[in-house]
């Protein structure tokens, strides 16, 4: 009993010291420049920067097209750097660290990073601090809905597509052939994306932030968009409502667990299973 008592006392002292140190430190944090919680010697500034920008293979939309889109209020899609979808302050006109950019400088493609769903930022009494690897306060469904609506409005008519094409092609009067080719590309991509959104009801369901039916969306993407007959390879009837959202898990002890995913169906320790899980994650996001 004495040993247990001493152990509990030591634990309480450590907790008290942690709260004291953290409270003093986060006083310097702001939304634009949060205090980064000490997460150990191995979690360096370089490791954090890599975590924020690491390309995991996700391909969501061309950056030039995203920059040319508009919000429902008429403002540029990236006017706030997508901070409207999370608790973080972002640079206007550019995607936040939640999105990666890959490819040559003149034709970069935007995709989801691991940090997109696994970065926690909270505010307490006006003081902001960030915990890398924590469950993010981000509304991924809202991003998908906004993209679906914005692209749909762009291709709805020639008059709405014209300014979009001019911005993407960087010409006040772009060549008609280039415009037609761009419209064909955007329309083809929108057909697949909208089919997924419509079938999964992601455009209509209000599931809120901080959670996602990632497994459902992965199965929808693979079974609904990728294994059908040519030319579009889609099987729309395979896409089901994504109605089992769960909180984004924290990552700190993921490598130590026997299994990953909330249902516990992905074993750790197997390179093939891990690769398959990561491929599914990229396809779903």
Residue 280 has pLDDT above 80, yes or no: no
- The per-residue pLDDT for range 230-275, each reduced to its tens digit, is 999 999 999 999 888 888 888 888 878 888 766 677 778 777 777 7
Residue 193 has pLDDT above 80, yes or no: yes
Distances (CA, A) of 134 to 37, 188, 217: 11, 36, 21
- The per-residue pLDDT for range 134-177, each reduced to its tens digit, is 998 888 888 889 999 999 999 999 999 999 999 999 999 999 99
Residue 53 has pLDDT above 80, yes or no: yes
Task: Pick 283 or 62 by higher pLDDT.
Answer: 62
Domain ranges of the chain: 1-138
pTM: 0.79
- The per-residue pLDDT for range 202-238, each reduced to its tens digit, is 656 667 778 888 888 889 999 999 999 999 999 999 9
Lowest mean pLDDT among 54-68, 97-111, 174-188: 97-111
pLDDT band at 199 (very low <50, low <70, confident <90, very high): very high
Query: Which residues is 122 bridged to in the sheet?
Result: 129
Residue 31 has pLDDT above 70, yes or no: no
Neighbours of 18 (CB within 10 A): 12
Compute and round to an integer the Cα radius of gyration of the chain: 22
Closest by CA to 203, choosing from 257, 241, 252, 159, is 241
CA distance 9 to 2: 10
Could you tell me if 130 and 121 are in contact, meaning their C-beta atoms sit under 8 angstroms apart? Answer: yes
pLDDT of 175 reads: 97
pLDDT of 203 reads: 57
- Average pLDDT, rounded, for the chain: 81
- The per-residue pLDDT for range 83-138, each reduced to its tens digit, is 777 656 555 555 555 678 787 877 899 988 888 889 998 888 888 999 999 998 88
CA distance 167 to 79: 15
């Amino acid at each position: 009993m004495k040993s247990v008592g001493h152990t509990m006392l030591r634990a309480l002292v450590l907790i008290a010291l942690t709260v004291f140190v953290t409270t003093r430190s986060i006083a310097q944090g702001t939304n634009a420049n949060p205090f980064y919680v000490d997460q150990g010697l191995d979690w360096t500034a370089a490791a954090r920067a890599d975590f924020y920008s690491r390309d995991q293979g996700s391909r969501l939309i061309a950056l030039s097209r995203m920059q040319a889109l508009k919000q429902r209020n008429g403002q540029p899609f990236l006017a706030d750097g997508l901070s409207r979808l999370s608790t973080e302050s972002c640079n206007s006109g550019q995607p936040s660290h939640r999105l990666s950019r890959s490819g040559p400088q003149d034709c970069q493609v935007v995709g989801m990073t691991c940090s997109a769903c696994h970065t926690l930022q909270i505010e307490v009494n006006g003081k902001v601090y960030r915990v890398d690897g924590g469950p993010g306060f981000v509304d991924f469904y809202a991003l998908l809905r906004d993209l679906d609506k914005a692209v749909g409005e762009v291709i709805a008519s020639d008059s709405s597509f014209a300014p979009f094409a001019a911005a993407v092609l960087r010409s006040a009067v772009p060549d008609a052939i280039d415009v037609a080719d761009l419209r064909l590309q955007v329309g083809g991509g929108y057909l697949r994306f909208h089919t997924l959104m419509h079938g999964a009801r992601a455009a209509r369901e209000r599931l809120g932030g901080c959670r996602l039916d990632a497994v459902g969306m992965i199965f929808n993407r693979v079974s609904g968009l990728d294994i059908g007959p040519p030319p579009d390879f889609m099987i729309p009837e395979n896409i089901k409502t994504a109605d089992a959202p769960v909180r984004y898990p924290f990552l700190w002890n993921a490598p130590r667990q026997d299994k990953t995913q909330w249902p516990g169906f992905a074993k750790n320790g197997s390179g093939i299973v891990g690769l398959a899980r990561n491929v599914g994650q990229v396809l779903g996001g």
